[in-house]
Structures are given as structure tokens and as C-alpha cells.
Amino acid sequence: MPPADFRRIALSLEGVEEYSHAGLPAFHVGGRKFASLASQAEGYGNLMLTLEQQAAFVEEAPEIFLPIPGRWGKMGHTHVRLPAASEDVLTGALRTAWKLRSDKNAKTRRKKTDVAERSGVTDKKRGKRRL
């Protein structure tokens, strides 16, 4: 699949925006990155997965998925060999990374809301408290 298809699929997911990360295309939801085309010149798309998800993708389709070399790969960042990926496989992989990021965003929002409620802060930017 060409990088344009990776981009099209990523942008079709709810709440996703494209932005430039170090001058290269990346995709975020809720302001946090879940995928990029930082390695498109080498024929890869990149996904941010858990180590468990990464291992499952690599085990099931080693001809398509591989850990990014170095410390990034040890944190779940995963290459997708774009020429080897079908649209269905790429859509499923992007959706997995998107859902992981969306779920983490929701969990973080809940924590911030809980802390604000316990401390009585109503306006996070100004730190106003209830009287």
C-alpha cells in the first residue's frame, strides 16, 4: 500500500488529525500521536502499540510487522511494511493503535477530572477554587 493509503485510512478514524512531527507526517487523536509516516522513505508506516500488541502482530504477520530498531521498538513502536500490507490488515492495525491511544486519552481525562474534583479546582488554567 502506498503512504497515501496509510494517510487516508488514518484520517478516516474518528478525531484524527495529521500534523508534522520533525517535518514528517504523523497522526494524533486527542493531541497524542498513535501513528506516523516518519519511515515512509524506507517503505514503512509506524504504529504506537503495547509490547503485547506488537508481539501479536509480529507473530501473526512477520512479513508485514516488525519492531522499530532500538529503544523505540522496545516500547511497542512498530514498523508496518507498506508494500506487503493489504488494506484490511493496515486498517486493523491502524485502528488498534488509534483505539489504544483513545483509551489512554480517556483514562488520563478521567484522572485529571477526579483530581480536580477532589481538590475543588473548577478552572484548571486559572486554578480557581469553589468558595
In a domain, 130, yes or no: no
Q: Which domain holds residue 33?
A: 3-119
In a domain, 17, yes or no: yes
| pTM, rounded to two decimals | 0.81
pLDDT of residue 129: 46
In a domain, 124, yes or no: no
How many domains does the structure of the chain reveal?
1
In a domain, 54, yes or no: yes
Question: Could you read off the pLDDT of 101-130 as tens digits, one per residue?
Answer: 999 998 876 655 554 555 555 555 545 444
In a domain, 39, yes or no: yes
In a domain, 126, yes or no: no
* Nearest-angstrom CA–CA distance, 104 and 34: 11
In a domain, 61, yes or no: yes
In a domain, 128, yes or no: no
